[in-house]
């Protein structure tokens, strides 16, 4: 570039020198001043620049499809730089077109429906799978609001709240009985990638499994009731030889264990099948509920395990009372079950403040029992998952308690947090959002003491 400018200045100097020579020569017979010759030289330089701009303009208007005009000096550098920019632009455009083509080809091959939405939730592109799932009418639906096709209150609420960390399940707008899982992924300048998956088969299999568990449990209850009745009569019959006392007691224990298992299966099936209804939710008297659970836990452990509580007496919870009781009691009874006789269990129910200023309520059960290895923690809420079957089966556990806790918390929009260390103990915490918290009227101490006494007497 520096050489080009030197050439331009040399050209200007050449024309100025030529103007001076012309003035010297013409001054012998013409009365023309030096300024006129300099003006003529500058006009010639300007005409050159105008000519080069005309050539550049003609090249632009032809679409820059040919080689740039040839020139030298600064204009030669300008033409060459424009040509380099054009080549880089064309390469970038081809690369972008290739990426878009590969994206469309890959998404078109996906078995899941893919729909691209703009900032106004209008359709800008979709693949073949989306056409089948939503019965789209080809290019006629380009520009249509997606809410015109997916008329589901859950989907509208999902998009309004921008809760894109999860998917939402809705009925298919075109096929009755078909179920779709829809998830929106925001990207770019307010755009969305909508992913649709047909989960009809998965939901049908889940329903079959739940129906089987519920029906099998119901069918088993009657035979077990009959067996339990006969075993109780045999145990009370004085004509039965004493040698049968041990086997009869063991059969009764196993019969009670089977009854507990069936009850847990039915409860779990109900939690999975029934949709939570807001009309069922009432302010739960959590302090009173914890007192009842503590009394029952002390009776279950025969007061050989120390159970303490730290409860906020004014803090309640919006939810279903029997479900909250089921979740909290499972955690407390598990702590008693896996803690030694001289162990210690602490039950806490307190309001806490997070770093961002939000308030939560935490129900935690802390024990100094056997503890759980970290590798088991991601799986212990699964049905029938046992960390150590040699310990859990004699303790009377069904393997469904934590699964019930997980489903109850999901229905109450809460989280389960588990911290445990082998040989040290475990802490199971239920964390409820601020929207679930309710203030309770203060309970008269005399009434509370009377309630605890009654619970103890019933236990």
Give the model's pLDDT for residue 278. 57
Going by C-alpha positions, the residue among 312, 322, 295 that lies closest to residue 348 is: 312
In contact, 320 and 326? CB cutoff 8 Å: no
Q: What is the pLDDT of residues 116-131, one digit of tens each?
A: 899 888 998 888 888 8
Q: What is the pLDDT of residues 23-53, one digit of tens each?
A: 777 776 766 777 887 888 888 888 888 888 8
Whether 458 has a pLDDT exceeding 50, the answer reads no
Structure tokens at 451: 């309630």
CB-based burial label for 452 (10 Å; 0-12, 13-18, 19+): middle
Whether 406 has a pLDDT exceeding 60, the answer reads yes
User: Where is average pLDDT lowest: 88-97, 186-195, 240-249, 382-391?
Assistant: 382-391
| Domains defined for the chain, CATH in brackets | 2-93 (no CATH), 110-198 (3.30.450.20), 202-273 (1.10.287.130), 279-458 (3.30.565.10)
In contact, 226 and 255? CB cutoff 8 Å: no
Give the model's pLDDT for residue 426. 92
Structure tokens at 316: 């309640």
In eight-state DSSP terms, residue 140 is: G
């Amino acid at each position: 570039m520096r050489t080009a400018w030197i050439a331009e200045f040399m050209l200007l100097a050449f024309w100025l020198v030529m103007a001076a020579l012309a003035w010297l020569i013409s001054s012998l017979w013409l009365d023309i001043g030096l300024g006129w010759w300099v003006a003529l030289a500058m006009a010639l330089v300007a005409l050159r620049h105008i000519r080069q701009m005309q050539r550049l303009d003609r090249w632009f208007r032809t679409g820059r499809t040919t080689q740039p005009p040839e020139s030298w000096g600064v204009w030669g550098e300008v033409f060459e730089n424009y040509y380099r920019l054009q080549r880089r632009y064309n390469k970038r455009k081809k690369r972008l077109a290739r990426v878009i083509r590969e994206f469309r080809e890959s998404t078109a091959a996906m078995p899941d429906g893919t729909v691209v939405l703009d900032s106004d939730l209008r359709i800008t592109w979709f693949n073949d799978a989306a056409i089948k799932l939503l019965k789209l009418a080809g290019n006629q639906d380009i520009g249509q609001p997606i809410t015109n096709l997916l008329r589901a209150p859950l989907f509208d609420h999902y998009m309004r709240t921008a809760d894109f960390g999860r998917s939402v399940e809705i009925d298919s707008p075109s096929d009755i009985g078909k179920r779709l899982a829809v998830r929106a992924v925001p990207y770019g300048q307010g755009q969305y990638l909508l992913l649709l998956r047909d989960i009809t088969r998965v939901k049908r299999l889940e329903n079959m499994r739940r129906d089987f568990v519920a029906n099998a449990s119901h069918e088993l209850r009657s035979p077990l009731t009959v067996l339990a009745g006969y075993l109780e009569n045999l145990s009370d019959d004085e004509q039965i030889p004493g040698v049968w006392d041990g086997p009869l007691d063991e059969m009764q224990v196993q019969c009670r264990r089977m009854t507990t298992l069936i009850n847990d299966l039915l409860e779990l099936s109900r939690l999975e099948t029934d949709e939570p209804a807001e009309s069922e939710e009432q302010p739960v008297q959590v302090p009173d509920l914890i007192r009842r659970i503590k009394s029952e836990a002390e009776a279950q452990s025969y007061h050989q395990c120390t159970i303490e509580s730290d409860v906020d007496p004014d803090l309640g919870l919006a939810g279903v009372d029997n479900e909250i009781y089921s979740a909290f009691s499972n955690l407390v009874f598990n702590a008693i079950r896996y803690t030694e006789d001289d162990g210690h269990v602490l039950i806490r129910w307190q309001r806490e403040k997070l770093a961002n200023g939000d308030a939560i309520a935490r129900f935690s059960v802390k024990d100094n029992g056997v503890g759980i290895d970290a590798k088991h923690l991601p799986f212990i809420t699964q049905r029938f998952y046992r960390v150590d079957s040699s310990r859990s089966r004699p303790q009377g556990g069904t393997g469904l308690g934590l699964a019930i806790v997980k489903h109850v918390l999901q229905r109450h929009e809460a989280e389960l947090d588990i911290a445990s260390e082998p040989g040290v103990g475990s802490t199971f915490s239920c964390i409820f959002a601020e929207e679930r918290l309710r203030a309770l009227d203060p309970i008269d101490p005399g009434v509370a003491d009377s309630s605890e006494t009654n619970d103890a007497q019933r236990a």
